[in-house]
Amino acid sequence: MAVSLFTDGNRHYWRAYRKWDGKVQGQLYFPLHPDPHKAMEEAIDADMKLAERQRAFYLAQMYRADYWMKENGKIRGLSLGLDGHGRPQWRLQISLPWTDKQARASRSILASSPLDAFQSTIKGMGDLVGFDSWSELAKALKQCYPDYAEDLENVMTQTDFATSA
């Protein structure tokens, strides 16, 4: 909840405040006088409406390729690294606006080719977020694979599995 007590000199307010898209989208003040309980209820109602607008904004963003692709061509929340046993894998860690927890998934590169594991990771991401693996968003994300070439080379040189496989 983004409701707080705000004081301006001798005046006291309940403030409902929400920020998204890098700027303040809602900031409403409810004076405590004459009925502080009614003012608090109004502030909470206003905050709930702002929270719905904020959630809708983030949900709409999750289905756009430009939300997921960073300027360097890589995908937000997707990295390449080694697991606890030194085996290379794709790791996905993303925040979903409809839950407080982060969604995590990983795909081993050794179980299949790096490209197949990458595509499987995009499919798993689609399952978590809610887009199909044949959608335009999935196709755009799959085009990011070449941008991970240097990371893939670095990870594969760090492991003995690459030479023994």
pLDDT for 25: 84
- pTM greater than 0.95: no
Inform me whether the pLDDT recorded for 165 exceeds 70: no
Which residue shows structure tokens 């430009």? 66
pLDDT tens profile 95-144? 887 777 888 999 999 888 999 999 999 999 999 888 998 999 999 999 99
pLDDT for 64: 92
- The C-alpha atoms of residue 158 and residue 127 are separated, in whole angstroms, by 31
Range 135-158 average pLDDT = 92
CA 67 to chain centre: 9
CA dist list (Å): 163 to 78, 105, 106, 117, 153: 25, 26, 22, 19, 13
pLDDT tens profile 49-96? 999 998 888 888 889 999 999 999 999 999 999 888 888 999 999 988
